[in-house]
Amino acid sequence: MNTVLYPTPPLSHLPQDLVSVADYQRYAQKHLPKSVFEYITGGGADEITLQRNRLAFQQWSILPRVLRDITDATTATNLCGQAFRHPILLAPVAFHQLVHPDGELATAEAASLLDTGMVVSTLSSQSLESVAQKLESPRWFQLYMQQNRDFTLQLVRRAEAAGYQALMVTIDAPLHGVRNRAQRAGFQLPAEIEAVNLRDRPPLPRAEFTPDQSVIFQGMMSEAPTWRDIEWLRTQTKLPIILKGILHSDDLRIALNVGVEGAVISNHGGRTLDQLPTALEMLPELRASLNKADFTLLVDGGIERGTDIFTALALGADAVMIGRPQLYALGVAGKLGIAHLLRTLRDELEITMALAGCSSIEQIDAQYLRKQF
């Protein structure tokens, strides 16, 4: 299917009914080509995990404290030894040019305006160097480990030279999940959009399989990264390493032993294996399993409100990451949309903290929550 990119120009001003993540999704459905919207919005298989990600937040109520002086309140925090103005980061998302001609460059400009940390994807449609030049806020690089270690190291060295301050290594998606919604919509990556950071990647060897071999097991998974690759990477860079895609406490313990600085509790936005637990439900167990106070825990999946951010922080996250909503906002209104989205989420978090009686991120803990069902 041939996709006409950008059939509707981005909005130059924001209408009064565009005030939340849900509104941006509604507008994006009208602005973007159907196949692109379905690719972004969809999850794996029957989308059970995708639905659970949102429902998980509805299981919690916020129990406020009153008559507290919070006139000196702040959302400032520290992640992997780095200062952040607020605990909201833009998650690594591939191919921003699917929704806007400037792609990640516009996203980076918006992140800079709101002093928001951005994690730039290996699969970005603009080079990691060009995005870094636009980023004046904290910048991290998301790394997909490559079959060729020399090429992986080349990506790491490029990130270091461009001034990225941490590596976020995605470990939960060695292959695509079953994405029926995108298949039904006929999504194909347009020829004019590519993962420019991988242009110089050595060609993969042609694989041949016997009748009793599996294209999945003996093919795609034969070169998937293992803990040995993370151990190797740890010896190759002094940048903090955050592993993205941990749900099991045993894997978190291994990560600690390998010597990484952080982890993202994540089910990949419900886009890989369906019927996974939500990051939110696993968060308290994983936080409790840590015996290292300065280990950074981030969480993503289903976050649409300031109250969601507050809930995640109260359950043990140090910060949250926003994925799909940044593409909705970028497609609808370019960098204006992303800046507005980030400001909205930051304002909502501050309102939640004020009404809950919290004056700092460190104060937010489980005493402010009650489980509903």
Where is the binding site, in residues?
Answer: 39, 92-94, 121, 142, 144, 170, 179, 244, 266, 268, 271, 323-324
- The CA distance from 333 to 318, in Å, is 29
CA R_g for the chain? 20
Catalytic position from the list 31, 86, 96, 268: 268
> Is 100 an active-site residue?
no
Q: Kindly provide the b/e burial profile for residues 74-95, where b requires at least 16 CB atoms within 10 angstroms of the residue's own CB.
A: ebebebbeeebbbbbbbbbbbb
Listing DSSP states for 321-369 in one string gives EE-HHHHHHHHHHHHHHHHHHHHHHHHHHHHHHHHHT--SGGG--GGGE
* Beta bridge partners of residue 169, listed in sequence order: 143, 243
The amino acid sitting at 261 is E
Closest to 137 in 3D by CA, of 161, 114, 163: 114
3-state secondary structure of 294: coil
Helix (H) or strand (E) holding 158: helix 149-161
Closest to 157 in 3D by CA, of 123, 108, 125, 197: 197
- The CA distance from 373 to 370, in Å, is 10
* Beta bridge partners of residue 77, listed in sequence order: 84
Closest to 120 in 3D by CA, of 166, 152, 67: 166
Q: Which residues contact 319 (CB under 8 A, 6 or more apart)?
A: 77, 79, 84, 87, 88, 89, 296, 298, 313
Active site amino acids: 268
